[in-house]
Amino acid sequence: MSRTNSFRLLFLLVFPLCASCYGQTDSLDKESKEMEIKETIEETGAYVGLWVTEDGRIRHHLLPDGRYDEARGDRESAYQGIYWVEGNHIEYKDDTGFTADGDFKDGVLYHGGMILYKSEQ
């Protein structure tokens, strides 16, 4: 086999392997970038607003100043207090000292066995 044919054969065998490696690297880079793009709800501030259970019975109004106002059924302002968000976790402390917490996941608030959805108000 001539030297030229040997290089062609080597090229035909190695090039597809290298191309697939580059494809995997591009794929990994894309995944890394997508993970970097995902911000916590704390970073986006998207937690501010009205969060409501599906039946509308429980309503958490998370105010931009770090206070909340919770309505239950016909009882407006049933509970009021402060809240703070760390990452995708929320902590509540009402004005009587009672504490509770919850977590935001995929745009939904999970709190005390309840599921609350962001409302357009």
**71 and 107 both lie in a single domain:** yes
Per-residue pLDDT of the chain (121 residues; tens, 9 = 90+): 555 555 455 445 554 544 444 455 455 555 554 445 679 999 999 999 999 999 999 999 999 999 999 999 999 999 999 999 999 999 999 999 999 999 999 999 999 999 999 998 7
How many angstroms separate the CA atoms of 26 and 32, rounded?
A: 10
**30 and 55 both lie in a single domain:** no
Interacting residues of 84 by C-beta distance below 8 A, sequence separation 6+? 66, 90, 91
**69 and 90 both lie in a single domain:** yes
Q: Which domain holds residue 13?
A: 1-38
**90 and 104 both lie in a single domain:** yes
**108 and 49 both lie in a single domain:** yes
**How many domains would you assign to the chain?**
2
CATH number (domain holding residue 51):
2.40.128.290
Give the model confidence (pLDDT) of 42-74 as tens digits: 999 999 999 999 999 999 999 999 999 999 999
Could you tell me whether strands 108-111 and 58-62 are parallel, antiparallel, or unpaired per DSSP bridges? unpaired
